[in-house]
Amino acid sequence: MSNNCSHSAGKSLLIYPPFADPTWPYVSLPTLKGYLGRRGIQVTVRDLNVEVFSFLTSEPTIAGWRQHLAARFQVLNGRERLSLSEQMEYRRVAEALPLVQQDFGALLTVMREEGSFYDRAAYAAGRDGVEDLFQIMEAVYFPFRYNCNRADHLVAPWDFQLLDSYIANRTSPLDQFYRQQLAGMAAPGFVGISLTFVSQIPEAFYLCRLLRDVFPNCFLMLGGPCVDLMVRHGRPEVVAWILDHVDGITVQEGEKTLEQLLPLLAAGRFPDRPQLAAIPNLITRDPVSGAIQQGPPWVLDLTESAAPDYSDLDLTLYPAPSPMLLYSPTRGCYWNKCSFCGYGFNQSGAHAYREIPVQQAVADLQALQEKYGAANFYFSCDVLSPDYAFRLAQAILDTGLEVRWSTDLRIEAAYTPERCRLLYRAGLRAVAFGVESGSPKVLRLMHKGVTPERIRAVNRHFHQAGISTAWMTFLGHPGEGFKEAQATLDLLAAERKVVDQFIVGAFGLTPGSKIACRPEEFGIESISFTAGDVFRFFPIYSDRTARINANDQRFAQLDTQIDDLSSRYQLDHYPWAGAISTHHSFLYLLRYGQRVFAKAWPRPQKKKQRAGAGKKIHPRFPLAELRQREEQFMGQYLECALRPDPETGLTPLCFDHFQAALARESEKERR
């Protein structure tokens, strides 16, 4: 807000920005709307993350990109030599040009219609088409990259300069879309943006700036897990920088914050400093003194919650043939001990495990089913305790509610065969387990509280009850040697027939986790950040075991084993069928059974380009060589850009550093 007294008393708007999974509505804003509505406070939810897809796939958008790519290709192809940056762009442009001839408008229909969605070949072609769309965007908006789980620069993390220039240069591929949306809109009094995932950072801040320009008297706010992480772990100057873009930041849960703030704003005056300072979980800056203030911490008593309200959202827009809704029956984790986990707000200490009483949860589900015709639900939370899961299941059965659901559970002895059958009868069809490791030693180091024997037994109980099981594992936990890493792959291979999906990830140091807070206990010798990582999302660490492992040739075998195991499955990344806990995967599991991803699907033939739709291009620079050249440069660059400077403790990687390295390299080539 531009000053401290004028304020527009218009509507309150909550926005979910791109880029994230568009196949179902995310739960945060409907949850807030439900809570506020129960208290007589009206807000409108807009899911721009899904709305934008019709813009991205529309003929005018594609035609604009086609034109841009053709023109850019002509210019670069006409040059005698290209700088390194131009070489990178040129290759992307040349590779994207043939892709731009498809009928992108049809892609959403493929995903929304039952006939094509459940036809594996048609589905795979539709999925590939959406991926092609993102590849085209990568060429048009070089050096930025986009997909449903990413919006970033080729190599540099988002820092203040990069974000400022992204906004000032109107770089966003969605600029025109946003302006169209804002043009017809009555001035809102409040806009809150949910910044949940890192992949929403650039568009969230871009929207803040546009909203500020178009509606200068509107109170602007950011909330959500990602902004909470920025505030909690980012560099000290982060909060002030964010407050240059918005009037308030909500950390942790937003129910009470909005319940207290929105009535004040509705009165048409900007609240004064003491009023703002008293609002729970709210960070603001006093416009006169510039002092930053934070309201008292607050957590929701879940008996006070209300069912999420999805009524503002057009559920037919989501690319899937039927609605699947997210519902969060619990918050926090009752275990809350795992060494690597910084989930949600666990480590802040304020976010204890809480449950919505089962009768209330069943009534919520019933209401959601009646109102939206949804039979499928994802219980979107850290975990359910076994006791809660059983009581909820029994209450679902007692009420005669017919729902199918999926969620994350912890491996616990309480999940006996009989109990798993109860869960199945109550509609549980897919479960994801944080198995993490197959090595007893590493499981102990993680404080995971389970053994490989228990993992094996409990997984079988679920699988045999008819519930699809997904294992999330990772390699490289500090203290893990070859033997332990091999144990994870051995366990997966041995249980393959009863594991329906899996992922083998790589350990990443999560800010706020026990390892990050007490690194010395886990053999971590030092932690540093890149100069551009102002939000501190990507710690770089040096670890004793990793150094020893680097000289162990046997590690090379592990990749081959993972590839071999993966080739026996149909695995994919978010948000597609084949990824763990996605909407599309759930629908496929319901339709084709537990084992639908436990064998590879035949790949669709790449469709021939429409005859005469595009002229054949003749690149004068060899694309394979350019790719090789780029990989070589990136390898060398990252080696030095990720080496910590002993004086600052930072590694040099940031946008400016990368640009300078590119320029030096081009200069070298020119001479």
Q: What is the binding site for ligand SF4 (CB under 6 A)?
A: 333, 335-338, 341, 343, 382-383, 410, 434
Q: Which residues of 536-569 are buried (b: 16+ CB within 10 A; e: fewer)?
A: bbebbbebebbeebeeeeebeebeebbeebeeeb
Rounded distance between C-alpha atoms, residue 636 and residue 631, angstroms: 9
Map residues 536-575 to x or -, x wherever contact with ligand B12 holds by CB under 6 A. Answer: --------------------------------------x-
Three-state SS at 504: strand
Residue 327 site contact among ligand SF4, ligand B12, none (CB < 5 to 8 Å, cut-off depends on kind): none
Instruction: Answer yes or no whether residue 581 interacts with ligand B12 by CB under 6 A.
Output: yes
Rounded distance between C-alpha atoms, residue 458 and residue 463, angstroms: 9
Residue 133 site contact among ligand B12, ligand SF4, none (CB < 5 to 8 Å, cut-off depends on kind): none
Q: Which of 506, 539, 551 is nearest to 644 (CA)?
A: 539
Residue closer to ligand SF4, measured from CB, 225 or 434? 434
Q: Which residues contact 361 (CB under 8 A, 6 or more apart)?
A: 327, 329, 392, 395
Phi/psi of residue 219, nearest 5 degrees: -80, 120
Which helix H or strand E contains 628, and what residues bound it?
Answer: helix 623-641
Instruction: Answer yes or no whether residue 204 interacts with ligand B12 by CB under 6 A.
Output: no
> Rounded to the nearest 5 degrees, what angle is found at the Cα of 23, between the Cα atoms of 21 and 27?
70
Per-residue tokens: 396: 């679902």
Residue 311 site contact among ligand SF4, ligand B12, none (CB < 5 to 8 Å, cut-off depends on kind): none
| Alpha-carbon torsion (105, 107, 108, 113), positive or negative | positive
Residue 61 site contact among ligand B12, ligand SF4, none (CB < 5 to 8 Å, cut-off depends on kind): none
Rounded distance between C-alpha atoms, residue 417 and residue 420, angstroms: 5
Least separation, in Å, of the C-beta of 414 and ligand SF4? 14
Give the binding range for ligand B12 (CB under 6 A) out of 172-180, 339-347, 450-458, 472-480: 339-347
Residue closer to ligand SF4, measured from CB, 177 or 502? 502
Map residues 299-318 to x or -, x wherever contact with ligand B12 holds by CB under 6 A. Answer: --------------------
Least separation, in Å, of the C-beta of 408 and ligand SF4? 7
Residue 342 site contact among ligand B12, ligand SF4, none (CB < 5 to 8 Å, cut-off depends on kind): ligand B12
- Which string of DSSP letters, residue by residue, matches 27-83? SHHHHHHHHHHHTT---EEEEHHHHHHHHHTSHHHHHHHHHHHHHHHHHHHT-S---
Residue 242 site contact among ligand B12, ligand SF4, none (CB < 5 to 8 Å, cut-off depends on kind): none
Residue closer to ligand SF4, measured from CB, 162 or 341? 341
Residue closer to ligand SF4, measured from CB, 159 or 408? 408
> Tell me, what amino acid is at 505?
G
Q: Given candidates 225, 271, 329, 476, which one binds ligand B12 under the rule CB under 6 A? A: 225
Q: Partners of 378 in the beta sheet?
A: 326, 406
Note the maximum CA span of the chain.
Answer: 79
Residue closer to ligand B12, measured from CB, 14 or 88? 14
Residue closer to ligand SF4, measured from CB, 341 or 531? 341
Q: Given candidates 1, 13, 18, 26, which one binds ligand B12 under the rule CB under 6 A? A: 26
Residue closer to ligand B12, measured from CB, 102 or 305? 305
For tokens 């089913």, the residue is 369
Instruction: Answer yes or no whether residue 27 interacts with ligand B12 by CB under 6 A.
Output: yes
Least separation, in Å, of the C-beta of 27 and ligand B12? 5
Q: Which of 577, 560, 448, 425 is nearest to 501 (CA)?
A: 577
Map residues 346-385 to x or -, x wherever contact with ligand B12 holds by CB under 6 A. Answer: ----------------------------------xxx---
In the complex, which residues of this chain contact ligand B12 (CB under 6 A)?
14, 20-21, 26-28, 31-32, 148-149, 192, 194, 196-198, 221, 223-226, 229, 250, 253-255, 257-258, 326, 328, 342-344, 380-382, 574, 581
